[in-house]
Structures are given as C-alpha cells and as structure tokens.
Amino acid sequence: MPTIETFHMPDAGEGLTEADIVTWRVAPGDTVEVNQPLVEIETAKSLVELPCPFDGVVVRLLAQEGDTVEVGVAIAEFDVDPDGEAPADDAPVAQDAVAAEAVVEESAAPAPAPAPAAAPEAPAAPAPAASSPAASSPAQDGSGAVLVGYGVKAGSAQRRPRRDGALDPIGGADEASEYPVLAKPPVRKLARELGVDLTTVTPSGPGGLVTREDVEQAAQAMSARSLATYAGDDQPWLESGYSKDGGRSTRVPVRSVRKRTAEAMVKSAFTAPHVTVFHTADVTETMHLVARLKADREFQDVRVTPLLIVAKALLLAVRRHPEINASWDDEAQEIVYKHFVNLGIAASTPRGLLVPNIKDAHRLPLHELAAEIGELTALARENRTPPAALSGGTISITNVGPLGIDTGTPILNPGESAILAFGAIREQPWVHEGEIKVRWVTQLALSFDHRLVDGELGARVLADVGRVMSDPSQGLVWG
C-alpha cells in the first residue's frame, strides 16, 4: 500500500511568512530523490531553490506556478513507498492527465439540458464509487461529485489563491459551446488578471488544455503589440504586466521584492525621523590609490573601484564613532548598540533594489573587503542572493555615482541608524594648496535616525569619511 508524505512550504529564512512558486522542477509521476531540486520559490528577499525532502514518486503538486503560498501550507505529495500495492479505488494518479481525461470524456458526451439555476463554476465530473475517499468530500458547487484526488482537503482554506484541479468551460455549463475551452480555475483567474481572452489562446496541454504558459505567452504578445504602438520597443519592466484599456497603459502586479521594498521604505520613512547632512570632498588621492591598486599584483583577482575605498572609509569612521552603529528598539524603548558591522551595499537587480550585507565587515582587510563586495553584487544581479545576506545589516552604502547622480537623501533600511550616499566623481576646478586646479571631486550624503543619532554625531561621521577619501593615508593612523 502506498505511503503518502506531504511537503509543506518551509520558512526559507529570517521569519518569512509566504513565498511565490516560480518553477516546479518535477511533475506528477516523476521519481525523485532526497536533495534533488524540487521547486524554485521567490520570497520577499530572494530566489530560493528548495530540495526534495523524500525518496519516491511525486503524486500531486498542490500549488501552481505563480501562486503565493503561506509558510506551513502543503505544496506537494509524495509516495515514499511506490512499490506498495494500492487499492484500485484509491490509486494516486497524475493530476493533469486525470483532469484532462475527465473533461474530454464529458465534452464528448451529449450536452445536458441547461438547468434553470445558476450553473456551477466547473462541470461535474463522473462521481466516484461510494467507497472512494473523494466521495465523502462535497465539492464547492454543492453537487457532491468530485474527481478522484480532487476532494476538499482539510486546511485548504488557508491556501491562496484556490488550487483545485478541476477543469471547466469558458463560461458556466449553460454557456459552454460544442467545443468548450478547457482550462483549470487558476489558469482562468490568471487570464482574467492579464486581460487574455481564452478563446483566442492556442492550447498546448493534453486534450486541448489551456496551460498557464499558454496564457502568459498570449499576454506577452499583447504587451509587445501594445508597447510597439506606444514606445516602438519592448520594455522588460512591463513584461509581467497586462492592459485593461487596449494598451494605453500597463498594470504590473506588485509582489515579492518590490512589495517588500515598498513596505520597508514606507515604514522607515514614517517611523524614523530622517536627517541628511552633505559633504563635498576632493577625492583625487582616492583616484590615485585606486589606480595603484589596480596595478598591484595582489589585487589582480578582485575588482577595485572607488566604492571599495569609501566602504573602508565608512568602516574606519564607525570605529571612531561606534555609537552611529545602532538601532532603535521601539517595543522595549531601548537603543541597541552593535559591536559588529554588517555593511550593506545597495544593488539594483532585475527583481528590484536589494541591500545585501557583508557580515563582520569591520574585521576584513582591504583585499578581502574587495572580494566580498564583488561577490555580493554579483550574486544580487544574478538573483542568487541567499536570504541570510539580506538580513541583519547595521549600516549601508548606496552608490549613485555610476548613474551620474551627484548625491541624494537615501531612506534608512529598517533596523539601521545610518546610510551613506556616494555620488559621482567629477573633474572640477578646486582650490588646492592655494591654487585653483582641476581635481576629482564627489559629494557624500549621510542620512541617519535622529532619535538616536544627534546632528553632531552624524556630521562627525560624514566628515571622517570625507577625510579618508581626501587622504587615504589617514586610514593608517585610524586603523
């Protein structure tokens, strides 16, 4: 007799409450092994690939790609004893195949006369035998007839959106034509959200089933046509959107990193009283140092940029003024002073803004700091940042210089007391040693939480950063 084990959505790290199903690496009927890649999920922080927890055969996938699933909700079932003999009326079957067969057989049968009452959302499937467990679970439409393996399961109300596998025509039973469009309810929901007419979609699934991929491809084609009219070219940031007004505008659902970033920034902006101080610095000596390090054989395996020097300068300033490295505990009404520095580096990624941090950055010499910065930014841009790297930061840097921006007033990451904005480095006329000369100049801005950082402290920290940037040898004195 088969032994069924259920896999529940785990907490991918740092107390997350939900995640999106991105890509299933397996399908019903597949034989799997422990630690084999099972599913790729997207949390509010990063993409994570979950390993398979069992040896056996995949029985059912309880969540569709694109679904948002809460931690603790069942997402897959496995037969961990596939050699066991199962009763004929309770044999596990592949989800898509059974559902498709049931609807294809039903659509081939003579259509019943329409009932005067409102039709159920899905066509009734052949009723299972009385001894079948599914027979004892009433269907949502009240008919009591459900497909084998698709009965209502305990706790199903906790999952969102609905993930039942029944198929139905494009309308109710009274609206079905001789050749109904076959699609599962989650696929229909997606089509409604994306503004896709299912009757115009070419199905690729078994028995003429319209799949999620079919709808997404149709939506992308619609977006491409709309954008060609509007902008003359595709825009990657609109690929996941849909139109409700014939292409005059595109709506993109807010989810995952963008959603988390928006929530965090609103919370930070309206919780911590922000103050920003500015400083213009002559960084000519920093540029000379960067050039020398690039030519140094010991630094040939890492990328050396001015960001590396400003990161080291900030770490030295924190060492001189450790009270800047703190957080405000609102519940306990306490200031928490950190005796370590987890240095965050803001990175723009295809999924939105991420701020991964370098753990214990204050302990790293310059070469190791350069290596960590390079690895951190590379992982972020490849959507491979581990969740642990996105939590626990104590102070951050946002580098707006590569975009040609002089400076800004950055918003604090929740749980941090300060963030440094590093602007573009430009050649400008500057008074140096009593003469006007062309020098490399940049602007620095430090935003801080005025609840625990006074203006004097913030100004001293920023002045120290500027001093090291103007004269990197000062770091030898403070280091």
Q: What is the distance between the alpha carbons of residues 94 and 81, in angstroms, rounded to a whole number?
A: 16
Contact 395, 414 (CB under 8 A): no
Candidate list 274, 279, 321, 450, residue with the active-site label = 450
**How many other β-carbons are positioned within 10 Å of the β-carbon of residue 288?**
12
Contact 123, 172 (CB under 8 A): no
Six-digit token string for 296: 């140094």
Which amino acid, one-letter code, is at 118? A
Contact 412, 390 (CB under 8 A): no
In sequence order, the 6+-apart residues with CB closer than 8 A to the CB of 375 are none
In sequence order, the 6+-apart residues with CB closer than 8 A to the CB of 217 are none
Six-digit token string for 411: 């918003």
Q: Which helix (H) or strand (E) holds 471?
A: none
Determine the straight-line distance between the first and last CA of the chain, rounded to whole angstroms: 69
Strand partners, 431: 436
Q: What is the distance between the alpha carbons of residues 344 and 340, in angstroms, rounded to a whole number?
A: 13
Cα 387 to the center of its chain, rounded Å = 10
Residue 141's Cβ-side half-sphere holds a number of Cα atoms within 13 Å equal to 17
Question: Which residue has 């019943």 as its token pair?
Answer: 112
Q: What is the distance between the alpha carbons of residues 5 and 196, in angstroms, rounded to a whole number?
A: 37
Question: Which residue has 């028995």 as its token pair?
Answer: 207
CA-based radius of gyration for the chain: 29
Contact 186, 209 (CB under 8 A): no
Contact 256, 44 (CB under 8 A): yes
In sequence order, the 6+-apart residues with CB closer than 8 A to the CB of 50 are 10, 12, 37, 38, 39, 40, 41
Six-digit token string for 476: 């030898």
Q: What is the distance between the alpha carbons of residues 175 and 241, in angstroms, rounded to a whole number?
A: 29
Told to judge if 362 belongs to the known catalytic residues of this protein, a careful annotator would answer no
Cα 262 to the center of its chain, rounded Å = 13
Contact 229, 236 (CB under 8 A): no
**SS3 call for 361:** helix
Six-digit token string for 452: 């625990």
Q: What is the distance between the alpha carbons of residues 261 and 44, in angstroms, rounded to a whole number?
A: 8
Catalytic residues: 450
